[in-house]
Structure 1
């Protein structure tokens, strides 16, 4: 009897690995075998972290890796270089891996579930005759934007290199939020060279893969993004994935979680703590770091602040003189936090966030208001959802020098924490989103629909083998 065998491959970034691993755990809980393919560099980080315990049967989840084409000392935060390197080397390496797996007739790959940012996988799937599904770890609206590239070019919103041509807000449809072309996901990743590489090697490949894929599954909900799912009904919402396994620890972290912050939270009053975390990519200069530090001190409120270590593993920032002594136990600093558990803690009052999609979904799923501080890529659009559509948070504004000042930060925190309407909106959206998770509801139904499709493909393959 052949196993139903899925190969899953994420883009090598924290916010992509974690949700696809959650989806893979859902697959294994339904009896599917999963080979999860990270890059060598990412695989090492995941397996060395506390998140390496993936909490599913070892015979159903196999963690493997292939090279990304970069040298060990190369900077993988250079997304242009990383994306181009992967595009050039990884297709051949993935094909080699699949051929090796398929030597065992009972283990042959039934389908590939690829992160939509790994659109090049389409070439491998077509060449090897394997069905392809795309996984969207970001908002459905961002995927819809990538699928609308040709229309944006035809309408002269962008040129053939993805560069914005008009300084005006645009809508993909009347039911979707306004978008600023300057903040299109490929237009605000880095310098102009990096942006063009991302557009050519990633976004254009996304469009091809999305059109050709048999299924597209998204870590989102119809309730949150009705307009995007209506515009492209091929996209199937199966989120929020990170809210489906509250009884188990999240998997796929690149750093070890510091769980001492949970004990510290237990000692704080209900609804009193400012939680501050900016994901795995955000970088501040020293001046901006100091402004944030002093603002948190000025609030006189307890705060939990995730200060991520630098590439060397050590702290890249210097705190203001005497800072740690002044804040004492009122501030808790950690290098990485168990975020789902933190946001679900009754002591947390609000979430100062970079607005990455995982963080956005976790905040919404836990009814926590946001202070929005996007850094790059899709985060600016996610802020639009939070502040303008769902009305569950407030944004921060930079001064004329490009700095978010301590006064701006403390002012927005004060406004947010005193705004009853925002808190009520956050709780209302929490109820709507979490209603999708229960048995018999949309998440469960859509996930079952997708798994049934995977099984049907396996049955078809077995019939073909029998008829040979």
Structure 2
């Protein structure tokens, strides 16, 4: 492929949430885009990048000229590569620490495209929906469209979308004592969700069942789904 063909090829940067099921779903989607003619840059965290190399061998992520694997730091302390990272710490880091290294990586990727013509500039970002707290900002800064890719069922996404409304209506967080788990409170019917009849509090994703306004995962999920409508 000559430099003119490289420069005009659509280039999708795909970034999953750094957990196994999200990565697997995103890589399948990236393969479909690749078969449709896209240049792919697949971005893992350094932690998961190392796990792949340890599991599959040192050359397993060499990729193809038009399907490359890259990594950005997650700003977490070193941990055992054979275990899943602490999800609470990971969510907090995604909220606070991922934008700067991701933006730096995007800038380098596009500068390399201009200087070496080895890859086309990024023409779009495919972001896991739960990474939207920083990927939407980065996409706006480089003027690229962004697609949010959710690896959950549509009914699950609709449930996550209710978290803000549930808080505003005073139904969550749950009361400080744990009686709400046994006194029928979780059977409160939510009658405002489009297309979902007879949904109760207990039917929403279990992240809702927290008694703390500072619950990291609850706030992470709520903030991420709040931004879903901002995708291109």
Q: TM-score, normalised by structure 1?
A: 0.40
- Structure number with higher relative contact order (C-alpha < 8 Å, ≥ 6 residues apart): 2
Q: Distance in 1 between matches of 2:50 and 2:231?
A: 30
Which of 105, 124, 139 is the matching residue for 1:125? 139
CA displacement, residues 227-269 of structure 1 (integer Å, 9 cap, x when unaligned) = xxxxxxxxxxxxxxxxxxxxxxxxxxxxxxxxxxxxxxxxxxx
CA displacement, residues 87-139 of structure 1 (integer Å, 9 cap, x when unaligned) = 22211000011100101235211111111111221111122222111010111
Q: Distance in 2 between matches of 1:149 and 1:81?
A: 21
**How large is the RMSD of aligned CA atoms in angstroms?**
3.2
In structure 2, the partner of 1:111 is 124
1:113/1:135 contact within 8 Å kept = yes
The secondary structure found in structure 1 opposite 2:147 is strand
Q: Distance in 2 between matches of 1:155 and 1:194?
A: 14
2:15/2:128 contact within 8 Å kept = yes
Deviation at 1:43, TM superposition (A): 1.0
1:216-235 alignment, distance < 5 Å: none
Q: Distance in 2 between matches of 1:200 and 1:151?
A: 13
In structure 2, the partner of 1:178 is 199
1:197 aligns with 2:212: no
Q: Distance in 2 between matches of 1:205 and 1:82?
A: 14
Q: Distance in 1 between matches of 2:224 and 2:26?
A: 19
Cα distance change of structure 1 residues 187 and 25 upon mapping to structure 2, 3 Å threshold: same
1:126-145 alignment, distance < 5 Å: 126-145=140-159
1:91 aligns with 2:110: no
Q: Distance in 2 between matches of 1:48 and 1:87?
A: 28
Question: Which of these two proteins has the greater Rg computed from alpha carbons?
Answer: 1
Q: Distance in 2 between matches of 1:60 and 1:24?
A: 11
1:288-307 alignment, distance < 5 Å: none
Q: Distance in 1 between matches of 2:84 and 2:76?
A: 8
Deviation at 1:76, TM superposition (A): 5.0
Q: Distance in 2 between matches of 1:124 and 1:65?
A: 16
Q: Distance in 2 between matches of 1:135 and 1:63?
A: 18
Q: Which runs of 5+ in 2 are unaligned?
A: none
Mean Cα deviation higher: 125-134 or 140-149? 140-149
Q: Distance in 2 between matches of 1:109 and 1:36?
A: 12
Q: Distance in 2 between matches of 1:71 and 1:154?
A: 35
In structure 2, the partner of 1:364 is none
Figure out how many residues of one structure are paired with residues of the other and give that number. 208
CA displacement, residues 1-52 of structure 1 (integer Å, 9 cap, x when unaligned) = 3221111111111110000000000010111011111000111112333498
1:110/1:130 contact within 8 Å kept = yes
Q: Distance in 2 between matches of 1:10 and 1:19?
A: 8
The secondary structure found in structure 2 opposite 1:34 is strand
The secondary structure found in structure 1 opposite 2:207 is coil
Q: Distance in 2 between matches of 1:202 and 1:173?
A: 20
1:42 aligns with 2:48: yes
In structure 2, the partner of 1:70 is 76
Q: Distance in 2 between matches of 1:39 and 1:119?
A: 16
CA displacement, residues 411-447 of structure 1 (integer Å, 9 cap, x when unaligned) = xxxxxxxxxxxxxxxxxxxxxxxxxxxxxxxxxxxxx
The secondary structure found in structure 2 opposite 1:130 is coil
Q: Which runs of 5+ in 1 are unaligned?
A: 215-468
2:173/2:208 contact within 8 Å kept = no
